[in-house]
Chain A
Amino acid sequence: MALPEGIVAVVKAECATCVLVTPVLRQLRQAGVPLTVYTQDDPGFPEGLDPIHDEDLSVSYHHEIETVPTLMHIVDGEEVDRTIGWLRPAWESLTGIEGLGPDLPEQRPGCGSLSVDPDLVDELRVRFGASVLRSRRVEIAALEDEVEALFDRGWTDGLPVVAPTEARVLRMLTGTPRPPDDVVAVVPPDLVECTVEKVAVNAVMAGAKPEYLPVILAALEAACTDEFNMHGVLATTMPVGPVMIVNGPIRKAIGMNSGGNVLGQGNRANLTIGRALQLIIRNVGGGKPGGVDRAAHGNPGKLSFCFAEDEESSPWESLAVERGFDPDVSTVTLFPGEGPRCVVDQLAREPEPLCRTFAACLRTVQHPKLPLGFDAILVIGPEHARVFKEAGWSKQRVKDEIMSNLELSGTDIVRGAGGMAEGIPEHLKDVTLPKFRPGGLLIVHAGGGAGLFSAIIGGWANGETGSQPTTRLIR
């Protein structure tokens, strides 16, 4: 939609600055400047200047008018200059006419354009922008209950979802500069190409806000890699799902929780980011319980399990920094995890005994007699971390100390030992094996400020044939 040649002004009668500059617009017209005035509200304003009524705000929307008055210089159909509000030198420079508005103050800020009015912008986005959306439109009849209709179509995870209307999806898409038709990942189990748009649709349904979208996109990228192996994590009979740990500045920017009840309910960002990924796997990938999801028990975290690391009060470098990322960037790390369990040691005052507590509890991940096969995350709470801080221990030293207590003697963990059938094969009974493979114990600092507790999140089959913790940059 090209603008007329010459000078173009966009105004609205409701704006005092637009009223103020009316004599200046007349002055331009009298000086013979080719001037076109668009008015957003009153079709007769400004009087005597033959304004064009931008009634549907299409001119304002398509030319990204955010402030009125906006003055533009159009040459050969292209905008070559623009100024907003009233600023005499800028208006003079743009029009090439000196001595504009001699009775006016030097400058006045403009007002918000109607095309960015919060009450109108959703509708305008649908009116002018919905054609970019490729998803099939599904009509919900007036007599259908919206929430029930979405349940009936099998699109929910057992909790109600927000209806993904065009307006909501377009608003969600403002959260990323990526175009809606960009393919983010190929989503298992059906191996469907998932666009930014489909991510946005499911993010709306999960209850997310646009500013969470970059985290969801990065989490989906991480999930749909060969190393994370989302198909396996979904299809396994074990009770795991993608656990997401967010690092970097975006945690605070979008209000994620890394403190009290960090692994629990109550924070919209934590809950809806995790849920959005789960809904994408379900709806786009086609992975549902009873279908490809064959979990024997599952765990409540399969609905959503996403949290932020408390970097600010941590004595150590963050998980992301440990994994090779700069502290100034934001990342999400996916881990195939089961539900968390608590480690209590309220008498912990010295680092070595606390490491022995951690080791004793970590040993039971999946089974106390199974070494090497499963990774784990140890979420160390602030009161436990303080013990190490006061002793001056690095994160690596904590890991080394824990691992030194997790050297499992073959005779203790061989099949049949301790009266338990589970264990390592007979031919390994003379070796000593570590509970975790190198790099298989991850430490994250998070939790509330009171309570000498930590949490363990047990993993799933690790390595090439299972799933590896996977980190992606949030852009």
Chain B
Amino acid sequence: MTIVLDPTGEQIPAERALRQRPASIEGRTIGLLDISKPRGNIFLDRLQQRLEAAGARVERFKKPTFTKPAPVDLRHEIATKCDLVIEALAD
């Protein structure tokens, strides 16, 4: 770990601000990313049912392995196709 000194005027937090939450998910495309942990798919199946019941469209994605970050192409595909993303971790 490297510690660096903030070079800015420190007027804004160093952490990235969260995007504003959508008022409604109706009609939105929501991506569900299975990170390939066992039983994560079962959790996501249930989430998909509930999201679709609430009027959202659902796209499913899966990381090749939970031990590594999602490949660039997959991240790009998710960003292109979805308005919102839910990432599931199950253990």
Contact = CB atoms under 8 A, between A and B. Distances in A.
A225 interface: no
B2 A136 contact: no
A153 B2 CA distance: 15
A195 B1 CA distance: 26
Contacts of B22: none
Contacts of B10: 135-136
A169 B11 contact: no
Contact of A163 (B4, B8, B11, B14): B4
A201 B5 contact: yes
A133 interface: yes
Give the interface residue-count category, chain B: 10 to 19
B2 A155 contact: no
A61 B65 CA distance: 51
Contact of B9 (A165, A187, A197): A187
Given A136-B14, A190-B11, A192-B11, A163 B6 contact: no
Contacts of B4: 137-138, 140, 150, 163-165
A192 B3 contact: no
A197 B3 CA distance: 16
A106 interface: no
A252 to B, nearest CB: 30
Contact of B2 (A165, A192, A197, A201): A165
Contacts of A141: 1
Contacts of B14: 136, 138, 153
Interface string A41-77: 0000000000000000000000000000000000000
A202 B1 CA distance: 21
Contact of B7 (A133, A140, A164): A164
A38 B7 CA distance: 39
A314 B7 CA distance: 39
Contacts of A198: 7, 9
B3 A142 contact: no
Interface string B28-50: 00000000000000000000000
B11 to A, nearest CB: 6
Nearest to B10: A136
Interface of B: 1-11, 14
6 contacts: A140-B1, A155-B8, A190-B9, A283-B8, A283-B9, A286-B11
